[in-house]
Amino acid sequence: WMRRLELGAGRWLQAECKRDLAARQAELSDVLSSDAGDREHQVLAQAFQYLTANSVAEASRVLLTAPRAYQRLAMMVAALGGGTGCSPLRRGNLQCQVQLWQDQGAGALMPTPVWNMLSLLGGELGEVAPAAASWQV
């Protein structure tokens, strides 16, 4: 009896999560299709290109100029970007988080340049290498 209850609750929760995911994807699509969304996407893409060119300070500065400032992402870029002074433990933690997000499909909820930056900082180069205009890291 208890097992059937758990299975039923699990199915219900899974259906609710799928419904919530679809609603968030539609909401994100609406935001990114607006003019502010286009500007935001351009700024984020520019920050990604600076990061791939190993210009960490410039990538962080650009992130702070986005229509919705990305302070946390700018701090992550500053802390993890570049090749010197970065703790392997920090990068490893981000790599684990990126893997979890990837397994859950959370990347679809993020603007592509944000996902690319997080993947790059987490050491996942396979997905993001083709998107880089300059690869000097």
pLDDT for residue 72: 85
- The pLDDT tens digits of the residues spanning 47-84 come to 888 888 878 888 888 998 877 778 888 888 888 876 55
pLDDT beyond 80 at 10: no
For residue 95, the tally of other CB atoms under 10 A from its CB is: 17
Which of the residue ranges 29-38, 41-50, 65-74 would you say has the lowest mean pLDDT?
A: 29-38
Separation of alpha carbons 56 and 77, rounded Å: 7
More confident residue, 83 or 40: 40
Residue located via tokens 């919530």? 20
pLDDT beyond 50 at 137: no
Tokens of 36: 């502010």
Whole-structure pTM value: 0.66
H/E stretch holding 30 reads helix 2-33
